[in-house]
Structure 1
Amino acid sequence: MNAERGEDRSGGSSTGPGLADMEAQKDGKERGPDRVTLKKEIGLLSACTIIIGNIIGSGIFISPKGVLEHSGSVGLALVVWLLGGCIAALGSLCYAELGVTIPKSGGDYSYVTEIFGGLMGFLLLWSAVLIMYPTTLAVIALTFSSYVLQPVFPNCVPPYMATRMLSATCLLLLTWVNCSSVRMATRIQDVFTVGKLMALGLIIIVGLVQICNGNYEALTPQVAFSLDRTPSVGQIALAFLQASFAFSGWNFLNYVTEEVVEPRRNLPRAIYISIPLVTFVYTLTNIAYFSSMSPEELLSSNAVAVTFGEKLLGVFSVIMPISVALSTFGGINGYLFTSSSALPPSSPTSSAPSRFPGHLALTSR
């Protein structure tokens, strides 16, 4: 009988998997062989600093010239900045809905893959990895090195090799930080975001002092909306394009959705807090520029904030290029932190090569 029972057991195991085997197979299918669970270390404050830190970069220190040039008047330029913030807010709200509906890291890649399939997601991913991300980081890093070296070479353009070497060093350092620790990267982002807001706060305070002293002629309605020429539709579009560059980065929190604590609650909240705050700060910063500089002075400047500092801060004008450099440094960190999650390791697809980008996304966390 024991032999028969043994035969029954062996027969049962030979005809199909046991209960334990079935549970193991089911669990394996649900998790997948490459399933990776990311640590949820991004709270509401860090989520806000990621959005603010990615938006506030070199744009607000450079773009005011382009917005004013194409809009044709101070008043219309301020309207463009306000509407640019509204457009960024609408886009952010759409992304908040996408982030709640499709709670995956990866941002655009995850949404395109979910909606249009793996091939379209694959094409988007590799165009971003090979073209968009490297070129954007290179531009920001070169801006950073140019402003860092400007006080060292006040009477000439910084040397070509010096700017390239400093840019490469900055990128390597922040890449190492982001590969080492999420917490370290978010702490750096928190600190540099506060630094950016303090730099813009200094500009705003100095501008408000100028307004209190009666220097607001360019902001009066009669002067602000006086047009030497009527801008065409194309010029208005270019003005919005310049403003949109300064607002770019509002969608980057969606690249790390799986690392956000309670994303269904904190993702929309971070957007509701960050975008209006950035729009408010940008508008006040432009008002400060116009209270201290004539439109002609602003249009002749290649770096508005630096010209602003040279005119009003005297010996302390060196603060401005340093502030812009710190702002771009934080922007590089935020861009690296979010773009490294372009391919979420928790959702590999058959269209994307699993080893190379998946490994990068995994090791960067």
Structure 2
Amino acid sequence: MADGFKNVETKMNPILKNSSESSSSEAVNLKPKITLLNGITVIVGSIIGSGIFVSPKGVLEHAGSVGASLIIWVLCGLYSMIGAYCYAELGTSILRSGADYAYIFEAFGPFCAFLRLWVECMIVRPCSQAIVALTFAYYVIEPLFPDCDQPDTAVRLLATVCILILTFVNCYDVKWSTRVQDVFTYAKLLALVLIIITGIVQLCRGEVEYYKDPFEHTEMNFAKASLGFYSGLFAYNGWNYLNYVIEELKDPYRNLPKAIFISITLVTGVYTFANVAYFTTVSREEVLSGAAVAVMFSKRLYGIMWVVMPIFVSLSTFGGVNGILFTSSRLFYVGGRNGHMPQILSMVQIKRMTPFPAALFMGLFSLVYLCSSNMYALINYVSFVTWLAIAVSIIVLLYFRWTRPNMDRPIKIHIVWPIIYLVCSVFVVILPMYYSPVETGIGLLIIASGIPVYIIFVYWENKPKVILTFIDNWTIRLQKLLLCVPEEAKTK
């Protein structure tokens, strides 16, 4: 694929010359603008999206009981914390954006890295963004349809508008993106703090009916119960997103581990206490009957003011979509830079200094997944391939400890933690294959579908000249349209 773009930068000299009239002599590339606070809001904002508002049903459904579901929420938080610190070592040892894609590329070469990128491109990122956008839409129109189901078409259209607005923001300015992330992260934390405080009041009033026998109905089939971890881990998904933009993080050696510890500790506490609060008011059967548990909770306790909860949840999920889009565009940007995606995705807008093509691609492609509104089927597809890839990244850490013992490691965790994480990942990945073979089978097929794509577009270097010319011409047209040039290009 890379060969098709050899001469694109040379052919784009007119664009570079024209841009010099309005640009300084600095390099055209992404700048380190993300502070520690921004890093915390990137992680917290990416994690807290739709998961805490839709996953309680999925966790409870597979755990069986209230007590078992709460244990799963805590274990998922601890599991995420261990994984995040493994990524802190990887991220400070391999200081390149792209997270697990970059780490797999460094350890096992372009083929394995491409399959990881292919899965992220085809499933994980656009699918995750569609799930969060759908949740945003459900909660926005909930007050308009308090006693009936929301129209499916209206939900999808509103989710589309959400994605398109945030795609524009991410294409226009990095500072706009981080400001949106900051503001909406505070809003979602405020919503969850409101739920937690209300739950504490309920407990003080003696509302413990649903805790009298907390482990009744516990699912004894361990393979089925493990699917509850999928829903729980989906809610925590995003703890590694700061690694995707580490080249734009100020002082990454200091700020990355701090952001990880603060963010995941905060999220684990908030998630656990929010679920405790839910079960002071909403019964097990009611949680299983519908996904909008936060709205159910607020209708019981806030009277006419219950509408504030859908508003808060909408703000939360809006910020979640922004976080996914912001980090995903950087992943595709790095993929284009390595020749694993069309080179246009590795280019920077000459005036805005944003990865405009990558952000635009991510936003538009995620609209495809809005064809389905079954969030729980989408979650199962995403979870299997996500945790499989993360497990491979932990193998990379162990592989480098063996093959590169003298590698510069500003952060070095005890070897026992990646081993524990890898063992747990094996159970999380393999057990659901037995109980949910269709979803995992589809996930494996999509991974395998990347093999012929790699052979044709990356491995096959001696493509006919007509194909290379066609790719070059279309890349140049897109560059002119989007006013973007390759990274590190200089304006004279």
- Is the 1:105–1:344 Cα contact (8 Å) retained in structure 2? no
Correspondence for 2:133 among 133, 141, 149: 141
Quick one: which of 131, 145, 163 aligns to 1:153? 145
Q: Distance in 2 between matches of 1:293 and 1:162?
A: 28
Among 252, 266, 277, the alignment partner of 2:255 is 266
Residue aligning to 1:12: none
1:186 aligned onto 2:178:
yes
Deviations 1:66-114 (A, max 9, x none): 2222222222221111111000111111111110000111112211211
Please say if 1:359 is aligned against 2:347.
yes
- State which drifts further: 340-349 or 198-207: 340-349
Taking structure 2 as the reference length, what is the TM-score of the superposition?
A: 0.63
Instruction: Say if 2:335 and 2:341, in contact at 8 Å, map to a contact too.
Output: no
- Shift of residue 301 of structure 1? 3.0
Match of 1:321 in 2: 310
Aligned to 1:18: none
State the Cα deviation string for residues 152-181 of structure 1 (Å, max 9, x = none): 233433334332322222111111111111
Contact 2:121 2:332 in 1 (8 A): no
Q: Which residue of 2 aligns with 1:72?
A: 64
2:284 pairs with 1:295: yes
What residue ranges of structure 2 are gaps of 5+ in the alignment? Answer: 1-26, 349-353, 360-492
Answer yes or no: is the 8 Å Cα contact 1:145–1:325 preserved in 2. Answer: yes
Matched, 1:44 2:52: no
Q: Deviations over 1:111-134 (max 9, x none)?
A: 121111123223322332233322
CA distance in 2, matches of 1:229, 1:188: 41
- Alpha-carbon separation, structure 1, partners of 2:197 and 2:207: 14
Taking a change above 3 Å as real, the CA distance of residues 353 and 231 of structure 1, as seen in their structure-2 partners, is closer
Aligned to 2:105: 113
* Paired residue type of 1:109: Y
User: 2:210 pairs with 214, 218, 224, which one?
Assistant: 218
- Letter in structure 1 aligned against 2:154: A
Question: What letter corresponds to residue 272 of structure 1 in structure 2?
Answer: F
Q: Which amino acid aligns with 1:281?
A: V
Q: Which amino acid aligns with 1:319?
A: V
- Matched to 1:174, the amino acid is L
Structure 1 residues 160 and 343: CA distance shift in structure 2, 3 A? closer
Q: Does 1:275 align with 2:264?
A: yes
- Contact 1:53-1:193 within 8 A present in 2 as well: yes
Q: 1:240 aligns with which of 223, 229, 240?
A: 229
One-letter amino acid matched to 1:59: G
Deviates more, 1:183-192 or 1:166-175: 166-175
Deviating more after overlay: 165-174 vs 202-211: 165-174
Residue 279 of structure 1 deviates from its aligned partner by 0.4
What do residues 282-330 of structure 1 show as CA deviations (whole Å, max 9, x unaligned)? 1110111111222233223331111101111111111122222111110
When residues 181 and 91 of structure 1 are mapped into structure 2, their CA distance, relative to the original with a 3 A threshold, is: same
Contact 1:68 1:239 in 2 (8 A): yes
Q: Work out the CA distance in 2 between the residues paired with 1:76 and 1:228.
A: 9
Q: For the Cα contact (< 8 Å) 2:336–2:345, is it kept in 1?
A: no
Equivalent-residue separation in structure 1 for 2:113 and 2:197 (angstroms): 46
Q: 2 CA distance for matches of 1:347 and 1:243? A: 32
Give the conservation status (yes or no) of the 8 Å contact 2:219–2:225.
no
Contact 2:332 2:341 in 1 (8 A): no
For the residues of structure 1 that align with 2:267 and 2:149, how far apart are their CA atoms? 31
Letter of the 1:264 counterpart = Y
Question: What percent of counterpart residues are identical?
Answer: 50
Structure 2 distance, partners of 1:346, 1:160, is 35
TM-score by length of 1: 0.84
3-state SS of 1:214 partner: coil
Q: Distance in 1 between matches of 2:139 and 2:217?
A: 34
Give the Cα separation in 1 of the matches to 2:28 and 2:144. 46
For residues 36-86 of structure 1, give each alpha carbon's deviation from its aligned partner in whole angstroms, at most 9, with x where no partner exists: 642111111110111011111111112112222222222222111111100
Structure 1 distance, partners of 2:134, 2:165, is: 15
Question: How does 1:46-61 map onto structure 2 within 5 Å?
Answer: 46-61=38-53
In 1, Cα distance between the equivalents of 2:335 and 2:283?
Answer: 53
Q: Which has the larger radius of gyration?
A: 1
Aligned length: 327
SS class of match (1:82): helix
Give the stretch that moved more between structures: 55-64 or 333-342.
Answer: 55-64
Tell me which of 80, 87, 92 is aligned to 2:84.
92
Say whether 1:285 aligns with 2:274: yes
Q: Tell me the amino acid that sits aligned with residue 300 of structure 1.
A: S
Q: How far has the Cα of 1:352 moved from its partner?
A: 2.2
Change (3 A) 1:157 1:272: same
The gaps in structure 1 that reach 5 residues or longer are 1-34
